[in-house]
Amino acid sequence: MIPVSFLITINDQFQECLYELTTHNEKILEIIDTIGFGDTRGQNQDEKNLNEISSYIQNLTHLNASCSLLKPNVRKLYSSFKSSVRHILHCLR
């Protein structure tokens, strides 16, 4: 079992949600939860969200992993999701 503490702030603006997990050997893992891709408010909002995520990533000193969660009923990746992932990967270069 891993003890967990977290802080969540929810509003209409991009906000980071920081989750800290302490492992058995006292290493701290930080998980940053961002707004998802494919915003229901449309492509302009989706691009704004993606730019906020990219800006945040570029200010990190390091990033060990990235995880994207998909709805279980999604059978194939939609083009906007693929494009968003490519954009994020480009920021990591």
pLDDT in single tens digits along all 93 residues of the chain: 444 555 555 565 555 555 777 777 887 777 777 777 877 888 888 888 888 888 888 888 888 888 787 777 877 777 888 888 888 888 877
What does each C-alpha distance from 75 to 3, 8, 72, 83 come to in angstroms?
34, 30, 8, 17
Amino acid at position 79, single letter: S
Q: Is the pTM of the predicted complex or chain greater than 0.75?
A: no
Alpha-carbon gap, residue 67 to 89, rounded angstroms: 12
Quote the distance between the C-alpha of residue 90 and its chain's center.
Answer: 15
pLDDT value, residue 16: 53
Amino acid at position 16, single letter: E
